[in-house]
Copies of this chain bind each other. A is one copy, B any other.
Amino acid sequence: MSSEDVAQARERVIESMEQSAEVYGLSRSAGRIYGVLYFAEEPLSIPTLVEATGYAKSTVSNVTRKLSRLGLIHRRSSDGGGRRVRFEAEREVWFIIQDVFQQYIDREIQASLRTLQRAEGQLPAEGRSHEAERIQDLRDTYEDLQEIVALTSGLSVSELREALEAYE
């Protein structure tokens, strides 16, 4: 039966997404729910997801909210006129990665930069201690990183690849 093959292939990919979710700091349930939505042909409601994944209703509710906030899935409310909330996967994986970068890494970079600048302001100006040099090294790198994130945030995956290949 080829439909069984299709189902098995689909299941394997979803299992791989469960694994990937852990690497990206998400739960396994988040990976599975995203996977089911990724292959779905239409937006799915929470009861449908409960049946498709086997997770409890509360788990699906919490995970879908988290995934929505991160931009991995989208709420399609007031679709068929019902009050049912339906979810659709963002299938452009590159967008997801960019968003995660924006929301995790960039926030982290900015918080670190703030701390570093405050620390530098506290240091005596003349002494030029080796701590001051170390802190300035950190700040330089983080500013480069911030700039790189900003530069890549507007590029598609093929544009980024092109930019890197052109530089040789």
**A residues adjacent to B (C-beta < 8 A):** 2, 5-6, 8-10, 12-13, 15-16, 19-20, 23, 25, 38-39, 41, 91-94, 97, 104-105, 108, 111-112, 115-116, 118-120, 122-124, 127, 129-132, 134-135, 137-138, 141-142, 144-145, 147-148, 151-152, 155, 157-167
Residues in B neighbouring A16, C-beta threshold 8 A: 111-112, 115-116
Q: How far is the CB of A62 from chain B (nearest CB, A)?
A: 21
Tell me the interface secondary structure of chain A in the complex: helix
Q: Which residue of B lies closest to A140 (CB)?
A: B157
CB<8 Å pairs between A and B, sample of 28: A5-B122, A6-B124, A9-B119, A9-B123, A9-B135, A10-B119, A12-B118, A13-B115, A13-B119, A16-B112, A16-B115, A19-B111, A23-B105, A25-B25, A92-B141, A93-B142, A94-B141, A94-B145, A144-B157, A144-B158, A144-B161, A148-B160, A148-B164, A151-B165, A163-B164, A163-B167, A166-B166, A166-B167
The reply to whether A163 and B161 form a contact with Cβ atoms under 8 Å apart is: no
Q: Which residue of B lies closest to A93 (CB)?
A: B141
Residues in B neighbouring A115, C-beta threshold 8 A: 12-13, 15-16
The reply to whether A20 and B108 form a contact with Cβ atoms under 8 Å apart is: yes
Residues in B neighbouring A141, C-beta threshold 8 A: 92-94, 157
**Given the known A-B contacts A115-B12, A123-B5, A131-B10, are A167 and B157 also in contact in the complex, defined by CB atoms under 8 Å?**
no
